[in-house]
Amino acid sequence: MELALVVVVIAFSLGFDYTNGFHDAANAIATSVSTRALTPRAALLMAAVFNLVGAMLGTEVAQTIGSGIIDISEAAGSSGLVMVLAAVIGAIAWNLVTWWFGMPSSSSHALIGGLTGVGLAAGTTVHWEVILDKVVIPMVLSPVVGFSLAFALMVGLLWIFRNANPHKVTRRFRIAQTASAAAMALGHGLQDAQKTMGVIVLALVAGGFKDDMSIPLWVKVSAALAISAGTYAGGWRIMRTLGRKIIELDPARGFVAETVAASVLYTTAFVFHAPISTTQTITSSIMGVGATKRLSAVRWGVAGNIAVAWVLTIPAAAGVAALMYVVLRPFLA
């Protein structure tokens, strides 16, 4: 029974990873596609490859997800596996809802919300101090940092190239965007694929098939391939929102937004081991470069709708996950 349940949980976890890929494909390539630096298919292929590479570069974020949100040891066996399954279903549900409406919400926060919801429903220990330090504070700070750095860097570039030929500058930044989009895709793989790795290992520990939170190679490869496949499938609804609805981007602004967002992703993954939202980071960076035109150039109504989705993500995913735990436990635990 437990072996079968572990297989089901892993399958759903990889399914979540796939939805994460197509839900967040826009994070890596929306700006480069909207500025015509890359064709859509070329951009998706590049993003899929660099997501795959990025997923193999670290495990620190995975360990934060696997052991830092809830204490699965208090509900080992079938009950613990039901908790993990319900958390993943809650995250998938929120990903699909926000994808349907074209809202770039955070898959990371959906998963963290799902884990928190089942922890509360099951009465196990929820590590609120970790959630505060590595989820809530970065959730608030990363958009502020992304907006501020993107605004400052864009102002600096505008001053440096103030007397340059606009056509030459545009052509050069369109080429440079290929590198910045690749860097963004690498950062997305580094951050988001690791979260699925953490959940799979959590299921293995709950099922008694593993004693620690180290990440086996097959888990890394499976998560990397799933998010890469999902990315290649594309997420056109959300891509339109990020690439065109917030602001009309030019290559220079697209390059700056991607460069700043990628830098924030690398820093939080390697230095702070914090599972931040790639969606929030790139969206706030796009707003930052857009505001250098004029504040009214940013469509703040669209930005406000995105912000509402950000705020709702954790409690909504937590609610769905808690409900799924209550429904599934009598049959599976």
DSSP result, 7-29: HHHHHHHHHHHHHHHHHHHHHHH
Q: Could you give phi then psi for residue 126, rounded to 5 degrees? A: -105, 125
Cross-strand partners of 70: 126
Contact 20, 159 (CB under 8 A): no
> How confident is the model over 22-41, as pLDDT tens digits?
777 666 677 777 777 787 77
Distances in Å between the Cα of 118 and the Cα atoms of 90, 203, 215, 259, 299 are: 9, 14, 23, 36, 37
What pLDDT sits at residue 10? 95
Q: How many CA atoms lie within 13 A of 24 on its CB side?
A: 35
Q: Can you give the pLDDT at residue 317?
A: 94
Given the structure tokens 């545009």, which residue do they identify? 170
Q: Is the dihedral of CA 313, 246, 241, 20 positive or negative?
A: negative
Q: Nearest CA to 32 among 172, 182, 168, 157?
A: 182
**287 and 299 Cβ atoms separated by less than 8 Å:** no
Give tens-digit pLDDT for 286-314: 889 988 887 766 666 766 777 787 889 99
Low-confidence ranges of the chain (pLDDT < 70): 1, 25-28, 76, 234-247, 296-300, 302-303, 333
Residues comprising the chain, all counted = 333
Phi/psi class of residue 307: alpha, beta or left (left: φ > 0; alpha: ψ in -120 to 50)?
Answer: alpha
Q: Rounding to the nearest 10 degrees, give the CA dihedral for residues 169, 174, 178, 181.
A: 100
pTM of the model as a whole:
0.86
pLDDT at position 118, please? Answer: 95
Alpha-carbon gap, residue 193 to 215, rounded angstroms: 12
- Closest listed residue to residue 27, CA positions, set 181, 142, 223: 181
In the structure encoding, which two tokens stand for residue 176, read together? Answer: 């440079």
Q: State the pLDDT at residue 61.
A: 85
86: its two tokens: 């319900």
Q: What per-residue confidence (pLDDT) applies to 152?
A: 96
- How far is the C-alpha of 190 from the C-alpha of 131, rounded, in Å? 20
Rounded-to-integer distance, Cα 307 and Cα 104, Å: 9
